[in-house]
């Protein structure tokens, strides 16, 4: 069996590794235009800040690939021939496959802002972007970031570490408000402010200005405010990287359409990770998942299917994590920015304004739905078990200590949280 995987991100690589674990005979080839070896995209910011070198971001040493007989090709795929089951690369090589995995990831959204082609205007997604950012930000003093999401805040921290002043333009009325409840969004906003980041809420970019026709000089917001900057980071989300499939017989919409087995409409072609879009979605689940964790899980699931053990992709209990400057964030279960009428939410915040806890539960049977933690590390196994077993909120609050995962000698806040819960009028 000759398997080709396009994309060497976490999804493609997880898939390749797991195929090799199950099947020792298959020929496995991974093609990437970005880098020869797999590195952790999550560490892009740490390379810029000088925490790590590129070498440190590779989860496997270079000998790993030949030892596991995973062929690596750095090239761009120009054309896919689904009839003859072949690929054409930019170096005009033609590769044949028996099974093909599309794990091409994302590209940054662009909204066609006037002036977005100027030097100093860029997104941050891959290694090439990082190199560009290194050049674009040498010897500058002020930057603007459009978009208040996870990459936006990473970019803010990166620039801040080089002593560049940062202004963030955020469309909503608080940081990451389309994912976080108001309290958490505000807490994080305050923390950013303490670090010297200027946040402009309810603000959108109108145009990008230049004096020399080459470099960005300033931006104008929709409120007609002008902000000087020599760098403009566009972090307004990503979309599936599927351009090269536009004229193929593979069905695409926003992403590559797949069923629950991650199969496309063409036999022996599969898609997983950021580039895949589920045809049928359960309520409350997103058709396109653009997370490290889901990419990894999809890659693992797909390896089973390809090796003959057809497996349904199952997200399990939702979880995610992030870090906002010094604040760690963990979430388990589905916490919506605003609760539904059937739900109740309990929120506790430490007086230092850096630590918070939220538990959402169903009004009717008081069963737990999910958690948000800021500045608290919590055990995933415990959170998942409670959500799966639909434990009552009272049980959860009484047993919080079981899930505590902060380093030894840290203060535990379970008692404070319990006290606050019992004195809360809505309970």
Kindly list the residues in this chain that would bind other proteins in the complex (CB under 8 A).
10, 40, 42-43, 46-47, 49-53, 56-59, 61, 160-163, 165, 167, 193-200, 292-293, 296-297, 314-317, 319, 321, 323, 325-326, 328, 330, 377-381, 384, 388, 405-410
What strand order describes the sheet that includes 231-234? Answer: 121-122, 231-234, 142-146, 165-169, 198-200
Closer residue to other proteins in complex, CB, 99/296: 296
Closer residue to other proteins in complex, CB, 70/269: 70
End-to-end Cα, the chain, rounded Å: 60
| SS3 (DSSP) at 257 | strand
Closer residue to other proteins in complex, CB, 163/283: 163
Who's near 214: CB < 8 A, 6+ residues apart? 118, 119
Closer residue to other proteins in complex, CB, 195/222: 195
Closer residue to other proteins in complex, CB, 46/231: 46
Question: Nearest approach, Cβ of 150 to other proteins (angstroms)?
Answer: 12
Question: Nearest approach, Cβ of 382 to other proteins (angstroms)?
Answer: 9
Closer residue to other proteins in complex, CB, 41/85: 41
Closer residue to other proteins in complex, CB, 195/254: 195
Q: Which helix (H) or strand (E) holds 34?
A: none
As given in the structure block, the two tokens for residue 251 are 């069905």
Closer residue to other proteins in complex, CB, 177/245: 177
Question: Nearest approach, Cβ of 314 to other proteins (angstroms)?
Answer: 4
| SS3 (DSSP) at 247 | coil
Q: Is 214 in contact with 126 (CB distance < 8 Å)?
A: no
Q: Buried b / exposed e across 140-170, counting CB within 10 Å, b at 16+?
A: beebbbbbbbbbbbbbbbbbbeeebebbbbb
Distance CA 287, CA 278 (A): 5
Question: Nearest approach, Cβ of 40 to other proteins (angstroms)?
Answer: 5
Question: Nearest approach, Cβ of 96 to other proteins (angstroms)?
Answer: 32
Q: Is 100 in contact with 19 (CB distance < 8 Å)?
A: no
Closer residue to other proteins in complex, CB, 79/323: 323
Distance CA 8, CA 50 (A): 24
Question: Nearest approach, Cβ of 46 to other proteins (angstroms)?
Answer: 6
Question: Nearest approach, Cβ of 322 to other proteins (angstroms)?
Answer: 8
Q: Which runs of consecutive H residues, i.e. helices, occur in 31-108?
A: 44-49, 63-67
Closer residue to other proteins in complex, CB, 265/321: 321
Question: Nearest approach, Cβ of 313 to other proteins (angstroms)?
Answer: 9
Q: Buried b / exposed e across 3-38, counting CB within 10 Å, b at 16+?
A: bbbbbbbbbbbbbbbbbbeeeeebebbbbbbbbebb
Distance CA 89, CA 77 (A): 4
Closer residue to other proteins in complex, CB, 15/242: 15
Question: Nearest approach, Cβ of 245 to other proteins (angstroms)?
Answer: 28
Q: Distance between alpha carbon 343 and the CA centroid of its chain, in Å?
A: 27
Query: What angle, 0 to 180 degrees and rounded to 10, lies between the N-to-C axes of helices 10-22 and 292-306?
Result: 30
Question: Nearest approach, Cβ of 178 to other proteins (angstroms)?
Answer: 21
Q: Buried b / exposed e across 393-403, counting CB within 10 Å, b at 16+?
A: beebbeebeeb
Q: How many CB atoms lie within 10 A of CB 69?
A: 12
Question: Nearest approach, Cβ of 41 to other proteins (angstroms)?
Answer: 9
């Amino acid at each position: 069996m000759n398997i080709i995987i396009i994309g060497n991100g976490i999804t493609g690589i997880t898939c390749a590794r797991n195929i090799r674990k199950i099947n020792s005979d298959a020929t496995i080839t991974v093609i990437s235009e970005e880098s020869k070896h797999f590195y952790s995209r999550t560490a892009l910011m740490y390379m810029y800040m000088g925490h790590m070198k590129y070498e440190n971001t590779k989860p496997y040493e270079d000998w790993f690939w030949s030892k596991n007989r995973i062929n690596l090709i750095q090239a761009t795929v120009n054309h896919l021939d689904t009839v003859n089951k072949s690929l054409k690369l930019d170096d005009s090589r033609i590769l044949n496959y028996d099974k093909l995995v599309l794990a091409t990831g994302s590209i940054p959204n662009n909204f066609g802002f006037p002036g977005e082609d100027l030097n100093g205007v860029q997104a941050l997604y891959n290694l090439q972007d990082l190199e560009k950012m290194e050049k674009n930000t040498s010897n500058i003093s002020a930057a603007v970031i459009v978009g208040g999401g996870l990459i936006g805040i990473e970019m803010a921290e990166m620039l801040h570490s080089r002593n560049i002043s940062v202004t963030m333009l955020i469309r909503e009325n608080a940081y990451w408000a389309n994912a976080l409840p108001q309290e958490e969004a505000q807490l994080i906003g305050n923390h950013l402010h303490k670090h010297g980041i200027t946040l402009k809420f309810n603000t959108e970019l109108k145009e990008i200005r230049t004096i020399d026709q080459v470099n960005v000089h300033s931006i104008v917001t929709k409120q007609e405010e002008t902000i000087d900057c020599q760098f403009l980071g566009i972090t307004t989300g990503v979309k599936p990287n599927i351009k090269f499939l536009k004229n193929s017989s593979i069905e695409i919409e926003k992403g590559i359409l797949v069923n629950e087995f991650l199969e496309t409409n063409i036999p022996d072609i599969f898609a997983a990770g950021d580039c895949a879009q589920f045809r049928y979605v359960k309520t409350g689940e997103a058709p396109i998942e653009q997370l490290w964790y889901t990419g990894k899980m999809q890659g693992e699931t797909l390896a089973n299917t390809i090796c003959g053990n057809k497996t349904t992709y199952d997200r399990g209990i939702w979880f995610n994590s992030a870090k906002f400057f010094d604040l760690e964030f963990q979430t388990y279960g589905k916490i919506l920015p605003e609760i539904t009428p059937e739900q109740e939410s309990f929120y506790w915040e430490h007086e230092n304004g850096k630590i918070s806890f939220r538990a959402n539960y169903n009004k009717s049977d008081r069963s737990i739905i999910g958690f948000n933690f800021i500045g608290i590390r919590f055990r995933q196994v415990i959170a998942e078990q409670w959500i799966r077993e639909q434990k009552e909120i009272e049980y959860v609050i009484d047993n919080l200590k079981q899930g505590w995962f902060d380093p030894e000698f840290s203060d535990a806040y379970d008692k404070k949280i319990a006290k606050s819960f019992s004195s809360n009028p809505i309970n």
